[in-house]
Structure 1
């Protein structure tokens, strides 16, 4: 077994007293450093700016023996037991010789020129008989910075600050009176004015902006709000802190009504006109529909069905979102799809050459394909692989056995307080434990939803070492006498076969999940489907050999799921794509018919016959035979198959993904009938995943289901956000990005989609 150590060892011995003392010193030091760091950022006491924690080493053993506070002004050291008292006695009471030098004269600040201060100066300027005014007391010495922040950081009250003004000047003029006499009115007036000016800086608005700058700023703010698609709520636009921010940068306050009226309508119209223009310019396209069934990968029921148009040049255009309300019958799905195609094509329905859907009821896609002979309707490859995972959970006894055994362990350690205390014991010894073992709901299993079950398996595997130590502890053995379940769990944990089975199930699920993530990122075309399933079979075969699992039952389940998802277009696109041409002994580049079964070759003939008009069918089949025997000119074939390294992922990819289709349109014009089929098949995408709504926004959409106005606004917001994301080719959701930033996605520690997108999963 690869990652789990099942050797049974003695429990962790208790550390010595000396080690505990060293740990206590380090803990005290780290705590003081953390407090000082926060204080320097303005979230703590003022004195931490001048006091720094230091470790005192034992000169003989070079081991930390104590923590002290060092004054950064005079390098004096003090006990760290009471930092507040140290600051009071050393800094406030004047013991530190350098603390007083921090007082900065206000004369070094920019001059104040408020009308109030000028009036104060006029009132307090004494007149002399010589005709020249003598300077007031405020001009005879510099004033300190008396802003509230300065006073708070230094630990002085305003009264102490005023006293410091006199002390700092070093002047002993007898006429200077600080008891409210007429002579000191000028100084006090200037001090008061300075404090008012410094206070007013906090809430002062930003620089005045021109109307064009304000309009541009609000336009960008609206773009950000709509593209967030629910991550930012309407109510947050009226949050007091957000309003204060707008005021600080010189912008007027906004209302949430501003973002659901004309601004929303104009942004929607702009995005809609651009999308319709792109669809109108395309000769043909494929419709991608997502959201028909329960999204078992993510968060539950998706309240809207999203329609995206895939164009031949590889771009994707958002079309619309339809609120479904609940489970969708097959007849309703067929009706919605038919209306969508009619809305896109008008009277020329032949422009829609296919549909790809994530899940559908009954025969909706098949009926549309039969009624429109030129269409190729596919089920999403991602959901095909996820359904395979559900098949394993339902049909493989190994999956059910492992799930039941892990549930016993999880329920025992989570519910029994006496046994749960063992986890705390090992945590006190420095062993990192995240918390309780995650347990799926009672009706959740791998045949329905693999996420919570795999989270439990991962916790069991990560706690393997601790579980093995706990069941060897004497106190746990006492629990086994009283509780037969505890005894059964102990025997299970000490069984090597149990850990091998847990790791086998987890490894197989992880294998399929990684392939699913790859499909979601790479978004393969229909010609790659056969290769994806071949890759899956090869990986599962290696898995069987690694964990000594019989291949027969596994292979049977895979073949059954393959047949349910298979479409003849997979085989046709595979042999028509110049990307997969194989060079033979004579130097020709021929299509890979040898990799197909006899039934798959027949499927190609039937598909081509259906896709072309009846009178062209014989010609198309003859051209297929010619393509099979002659292939493509080696020069063009080599040009199509040129690969280069992707700078983002580091993988080798086709240099020009559109070259396969372009070769049929330019270099293979003699295949008139077959060429029409090839250019339509080769651009078809095999996945329906596209724009993902924010989950909080989707819940809001559900609440608007019975409000025509609310639903209309929700659909417009979805359209704007989807249009922007597809422009940037960003198919991830904000929740995924946030979860990946925090180091985990949906409670699972498997490869993340974003890591693969960034090339970190290689």
Structure 2
């Protein structure tokens, strides 16, 4: 009860933390959008609107995100920046915005209004120590700044007040100056003034001075960042002029890409390799995880694919071992050889330390062969792949899937290929959805590779465009097209058929259910004992889906059961029974293993697996211990301690407080189960998914271009090892591309940040 009260008392602060993180994320998204907009890649109004993060005066935590008008200091809600801009700026509510938009007279005697800081900054040219000519050397009339093409016309020259003064050098230049090289001479003139100033005062103000230790530490962090980006940042970027200027500005010496791709890389790799090998040596046993055998849709024909080999340790940590580059589909025998070489490379002759393998489903034959040849091993196929494959199964087995997808393909193809129809479609999109664009549509090669992520996006687009499509087919112009175009008539019939929309909603809902479940599996990385509960939870949710959309349960359950059997391994049942996490209290107060949730076949699987994992001479003893475990279970106090949960501050979900308790209980207070305990500790820590370190696509393309030489491949292997070691250390399983995608999909209320950057900025 004390533990539960402590957990409950922490809930409000956890909720506050979750809210604060959401506000921080919203604020950072707005800042990113504004930065891009100021560079000319976004909406015009971001120059005048600044995001603010408002904090609670009592707790110090963020409580709101606001927008401040830089012209009049007014503060607004950040829920819809585009609407704020329309109402505050365009409609004249802002007293200072209207003055900026007034026409400027070119008369030399006219009173000229001051320019906004945005227009003034836009004319500045500055590079690595060069003086800003526009502010210190000359003055150009406002008309020249607003219309650069007029700056050097005769009329502009007559009215310009380009008064050049250089009192520091003792020079006197004419007031009305026409530079022979045109406006490009302004930067050179600024450099001339800067040179004069340096000659006048050779001992200028010194830059920041850093000690040798500070410089070494800074360059060490720079190296970490470069290697951990794993190709997202190129070595050539180190010699970019702007980056060199940045290093000079903060007091760091220039760096060489040769140094960072040579000695520093070798030292970092050796450090990561030594630490990884020490952790593996410290563990009594381990599991090998391999991800990448299954070709990803993003890999194009002829490109290399990366297979990552990782070592999962009993304490819940993972250590990167190596990467193997492959081209095209891999034969089962080759995969088997690579896996066995990895095991012997770690263990030497003591191969019993490797208690299993988990791999994405390239060829089940390789896993079965290794398991049959080594009786102590448990080799599993990745659960993530099993769940994702369900979508393919449903598309083949359920007619509703094929009908809905085929109709959506016909709609998307029609509306994306007819320019006259597109204009009408975009008109109603702007009216109803406040944005316009094509429907996402899978290319032929995507359909051939079963890229259901794109198909799902297409279904989502069409479902969200329900009202828009209905309005389009009611247009008189569309009805005229239908008189001559058979496909247009078919499309109109589909859109006006309510049965189509019901089927589409049902298919989209089921795909989303499975996709969300797959994303949860990828994030949580469940252990083998969680496999049976995962599939039972899926069955329950699909049963609710059938009831909601009035779908017969029989065919749907048949598809799920078929995929379940393809992925099932006896270790699922054995780990479920042996893991104290799933012990259940009976009427007598004992905590006993949940045998009643197993089928008769699964109970036999438990016996068979346990006897296989021990020697023949010990098999009968292990089965006797299993019977004792079944009847006595675990001390109630320890069982409750293992099952204590706490709320995850990041997700808000209740999770096991100490996942290692399940194994530690067997190694300490259940020491009387000598053989069964040995099986249990080696079984219940096994991971059920192979997903771990993710490599950037940019790095894979770099390997394709430069990895054919021995030196290039050696560098690639070292960079992967350093990056993977660091990410696994932080338990960070996403890559930079995933984070960018998440950032640019941040949305709140009616404000679509992605739309503002790429549509309003006309970058597409």
Following TM superposition, by how much is the alpha carbon of 1:385 offset from its aligned partner in structure 2, in angstroms? 0.5
Q: Determine the structure 2 residue equivalent to 1:255.
A: 256
Relative to structure 1, the CA distance from residue 269 to residue 623 in structure 2 (aligned partners, 3 Å threshold; closer, same or farther) is same
Instruction: Give me the whole-angstrom Cα distance separating, in 1, the residues matched to 2:615 and 2:721.
Output: 37
Relative to structure 1, the CA distance from residue 84 to residue 671 in structure 2 (aligned partners, 3 Å threshold; closer, same or farther) is farther
Aligned to 2:569, which of 543, 567, 570?
567
Aligned to 1:720, which of 709, 722, 725?
722
Relative to structure 1, the CA distance from residue 622 to residue 83 in structure 2 (aligned partners, 3 Å threshold; closer, same or farther) is farther
Q: Determine the structure 2 residue equivalent to 1:294.
A: 295
Instruction: Give me the whole-angstrom Cα distance separating, in 2, the residues matched to 1:197 and 1:49.
Output: 36
Structure 2 residue 350 is matched with structure 1 residue 348: yes
Q: Bigger relative contact order, structure 1 or 2, given CA contacts below 8 A and separation 6+?
A: 2
Structure 2 residue 111 is matched with structure 1 residue 90: yes
Q: Deviations over 1:519-560 (max 9, x none)?
A: 111111100000000000001111111111111111111101
Following TM superposition, by how much is the alpha carbon of 1:444 offset from its aligned partner in structure 2, in angstroms? 3.8
Contact 2:297 2:446 in 1 (8 A): no
Instruction: Give me the whole-angstrom Cα distance separating, in 2, the residues matched to 1:607 and 1:65.
Output: 73
Following TM superposition, by how much is the alpha carbon of 1:205 offset from its aligned partner in structure 2, in angstroms? 7.5
Following TM superposition, by how much is the alpha carbon of 1:634 offset from its aligned partner in structure 2, in angstroms? 0.9
Report the secondary structure of 2:733's partner residue: coil
Instruction: Give me the whole-angstrom Cα distance separating, in 1, the residues matched to 2:195 and 2:257.
Output: 39
Contact 1:235 1:256 in 2 (8 A): yes
Contact 1:36 1:52 in 2 (8 A): no
Contact 1:385 1:512 in 2 (8 A): yes
Following TM superposition, by how much is the alpha carbon of 1:390 offset from its aligned partner in structure 2, in angstroms? 1.2
Q: Determine the structure 1 residue equivalent to 2:310.
A: 308
Aligned to 1:358, which of 342, 345, 360?
360
Report the secondary structure of 1:89's partner residue: coil
Deviates more, 1:595-604 or 1:229-238: 229-238
Following TM superposition, by how much is the alpha carbon of 1:330 offset from its aligned partner in structure 2, in angstroms? 0.5
RMSD of equivalent CA atoms: 3.6
Following TM superposition, by how much is the alpha carbon of 1:70 offset from its aligned partner in structure 2, in angstroms? 6.0
Relative to structure 1, the CA distance from residue 276 to residue 161 in structure 2 (aligned partners, 3 Å threshold; closer, same or farther) is same
Aligned to 1:148, which of 131, 136, 142?
136
Q: After the TM superposition, which residues 616-627 of structure 1 pair with which residues of structure 2 at under 5 Å, given as runs? A: 616-627=618-629
Relative to structure 1, the CA distance from residue 243 to residue 152 in structure 2 (aligned partners, 3 Å threshold; closer, same or farther) is farther
Q: Determine the structure 2 residue equivalent to 1:512.
A: 514
Q: Deviations over 1:158-196 (max 9, x none)?
A: 86476999xxxxxxxxxxxx999xxxxxxxxxx989983
Q: Determine the structure 1 residue equivalent to 2:396.
A: 394
Instruction: Give me the whole-angstrom Cα distance separating, in 1, the residues matched to 2:393 and 2:199.
Output: 70
Relative to structure 1, the CA distance from residue 499 to residue 198 in structure 2 (aligned partners, 3 Å threshold; closer, same or farther) is farther
Contact 1:572 1:604 in 2 (8 A): yes
Larger radius of gyration: 1
Instruction: Give me the whole-angstrom Cα distance separating, in 2, the residues matched to 1:294 and 1:597.
Output: 35
Instruction: Give me the whole-angstrom Cα distance separating, in 2, the residues matched to 1:452 and 1:694.
Output: 20
Instruction: Give me the whole-angstrom Cα distance separating, in 2, the residues matched to 1:406 and 1:499.
Output: 10
Contact 2:49 2:70 in 1 (8 A): no
Report the secondary structure of 1:528's partner residue: helix
Contact 2:409 2:441 in 1 (8 A): yes
Following TM superposition, by how much is the alpha carbon of 1:255 offset from its aligned partner in structure 2, in angstroms? 2.0
Relative to structure 1, the CA distance from residue 744 to residue 363 in structure 2 (aligned partners, 3 Å threshold; closer, same or farther) is farther
Q: Deviations over 1:598-655 (max 9, x none)?
A: 0000001100110001111000000000110111111111111111111221111111
Contact 2:299 2:305 in 1 (8 A): no
Q: Determine the structure 2 residue equivalent to 1:466.
A: 468
Contact 1:229 1:694 in 2 (8 A): yes
Instruction: Give me the whole-angstrom Cα distance separating, in 1, the residues matched to 2:88 and 2:711.
Output: 71
Q: After the TM superposition, which residues 67-106 of structure 1 pair with which residues of structure 2 at under 5 Å, given as runs? A: 67=92, 80-83=101-104, 89-91=110-112
Contact 1:313 1:658 in 2 (8 A): yes
Instruction: Give me the whole-angstrom Cα distance separating, in 1, the residues matched to 2:656 and 2:71.
Output: 61
Contact 1:352 1:375 in 2 (8 A): yes
TM-score scaled by structure 1?
A: 0.75
Following TM superposition, by how much is the alpha carbon of 1:243 offset from its aligned partner in structure 2, in angstroms? 1.3
Gaps of 5+ in 1: 1-29, 39-47, 54-61, 97-144, 166-177, 181-190, 746-762
Following TM superposition, by how much is the alpha carbon of 1:718 offset from its aligned partner in structure 2, in angstroms? 0.2
Relative to structure 1, the CA distance from residue 65 to residue 299 in structure 2 (aligned partners, 3 Å threshold; closer, same or farther) is closer
Contact 1:78 1:86 in 2 (8 A): no
Relative to structure 1, the CA distance from residue 657 to residue 444 in structure 2 (aligned partners, 3 Å threshold; closer, same or farther) is same
Relative to structure 1, the CA distance from residue 69 to residue 642 in structure 2 (aligned partners, 3 Å threshold; closer, same or farther) is closer
Q: After the TM superposition, which residues 476-491 of structure 1 pair with which residues of structure 2 at under 5 Å, given as runs? A: 476-491=478-493
Q: After the TM superposition, which residues 202-241 of structure 1 pair with which residues of structure 2 at under 5 Å, given as runs? A: 206-241=207-242
Relative to structure 1, the CA distance from residue 63 to residue 621 in structure 2 (aligned partners, 3 Å threshold; closer, same or farther) is closer
Contact 2:429 2:468 in 1 (8 A): no
Contact 2:583 2:639 in 1 (8 A): yes
Relative to structure 1, the CA distance from residue 688 to residue 152 in structure 2 (aligned partners, 3 Å threshold; closer, same or farther) is farther
Report the secondary structure of 2:209's partner residue: coil
Relative to structure 1, the CA distance from residue 34 to residue 744 in structure 2 (aligned partners, 3 Å threshold; closer, same or farther) is closer
Contact 2:104 2:112 in 1 (8 A): no
Relative to structure 1, the CA distance from residue 299 to residue 399 in structure 2 (aligned partners, 3 Å threshold; closer, same or farther) is farther
Contact 1:67 1:80 in 2 (8 A): no
Instruction: Give me the whole-angstrom Cα distance separating, in 2, the residues matched to 1:50 and 1:307.
Output: 56
Q: Deviations over 1:494-527 (max 9, x none)?
A: 1111011111111111000101111111111100
Instruction: Give me the whole-angstrom Cα distance separating, in 1, the residues matched to 2:428 and 2:595.
Output: 61
TM-score scaled by structure 2?
A: 0.75
Contact 1:52 1:70 in 2 (8 A): no
Structure 2 residue 586 is matched with structure 1 residue 598: no
Relative to structure 1, the CA distance from residue 479 to residue 243 in structure 2 (aligned partners, 3 Å threshold; closer, same or farther) is same
Q: After the TM superposition, which residues 106-145 of structure 1 pair with which residues of structure 2 at under 5 Å, given as runs? A: none
Aligned to 1:640, which of 639, 642, 667?
642
